[in-house]
Amino acid sequence: MGFIRGGALVIVSVLLLVVFLAGNVLWTLDKSLDYETMKPELTSVVKEVLEEQVNISEVVEGEFAEMESYCENNSEYVFSDEESGKVFESPCEVVAQGSDAVVDYAIEDFIEEVYTGQTENSTFDFAKLKESINSYLYYVFIVAIVLFVLVFFLTEVKSNAFIIAGSLLSVSALPLVKIEMFFSFIPFGFAEFAVIFFSKASTVFAISFITGLVVLAVGIVMKFFGIGFKLFDFMNKFKNKDGEKQVVSKQFSGKTNAVS
């Protein structure tokens, strides 16, 4: 029975490690695909595209006088580039801040369209991908809890469940440290693109690794106090037995003196 229980514990522990690894990868993707995280990367790309295909700064400069005039009695100005056919919308409160503010607003608006896959001929939706990853991450979290409960019931000393789980969680975070080195071996330009999806690897590593150490420490403390309580009980039993011996000895001595 002990062999079967030990074998089951090994299998469940391996599965828990795999789930932790998958969870760390999915969590890294989820955090890296956040809009505010991707915005700096997308901004440089969008600026380059808009300046090459539309020359947004020149378009705004040519339209700005009309923008100011139109915004005296309206709340929003819509303009377009004839060559590309790209349509831009700018609130008049932005127009009041100057032409540079209008350019920045147009760029940010286009960034949101790229992020959500709303641009023409767009085949990639970062927002939808993040949503899908987030749902998978939820299931991984549930599976991890179930596996930990199994580990807890399979271990004879319950503190070992926390030691095992903490150790596995810390170990599962280690590959994230060298993730960029892994991408360096990928040929062509895919590596630069892939790194964007793992830009938060160091953050996830730190959180997972430290959390694993905390859980490990909890297990060690539980084990330490478990041993301490056993020693305390043993000392109490020893003292109780010693006290009983002294009582019996006194009673025996009393009877002996009475007989004398």
Tell me: the pLDDT tens digits for 14-32?
A: 999 999 999 999 999 999 8
What does the mean pLDDT of the chain come to?
Answer: 80
166 DSSP 8-state letter: H
Long-range contacts of 185-190 (CB under 8 A, 24+ apart): none
Digit-coded pLDDT (tens) for 82-100: 766 778 888 899 888 888 8
Q: CB-based burial of residue 40 (10 Å sphere; 0-12 exposed, 13-18 middle, 19+ buried)?
A: exposed
Q: For a pLDDT cut of 70, what percent of the chain falls above it?
A: 75
Of the candidates 37, 109, 97, 108, which has an alpha carbon nearest to the alpha carbon of residue 68? Answer: 97
Digit-coded pLDDT (tens) for 104-146: 888 888 888 778 877 665 567 788 888 999 999 999 999 999 9
Of the candidates 198, 220, 171, 130, which has an alpha carbon nearest to the alpha carbon of residue 19? Answer: 171
Q: Is 79 helix (H, G, I), strand (E, B) or coil?
A: strand
State the pLDDT at residue 183: 63
89: CB partners within 8 A, 6+ apart: 76, 77, 78, 109
Residue in the block written with tokens 């609130």: 91
Confidence of residue 252 (pLDDT cuts 50, 70, 90): very low
Residue in the block written with tokens 């039993």: 237
Digit-coded pLDDT (tens) for 187-213: 555 555 667 788 888 899 999 999 999
Digit-coded pLDDT (tens) for 54-77: 777 788 888 888 888 888 888 898
* H helix or E strand, kind and range, residue 88: strand 87-91
Contact between 208 and 170 under an 8 Å Cβ cutoff? The reply is: yes
- Alpha helical stretches, state H, 116-178: 126-154, 159-173
State the pLDDT at residue 248: 43
Contact between 217 and 166 under an 8 Å Cβ cutoff? The reply is: yes
∠ CA 203-205-207 to the nearest 5 degrees?
70
186 DSSP 8-state letter: S
DSSP annotation string for 231-243: HHHHHHHHHHHHH
- Greater pLDDT, 240 or 28: 28
Distance CA 73, CA 226 (A): 77
Distance CA 39, CA 29 (A): 15
Residue 185, amino acid: F
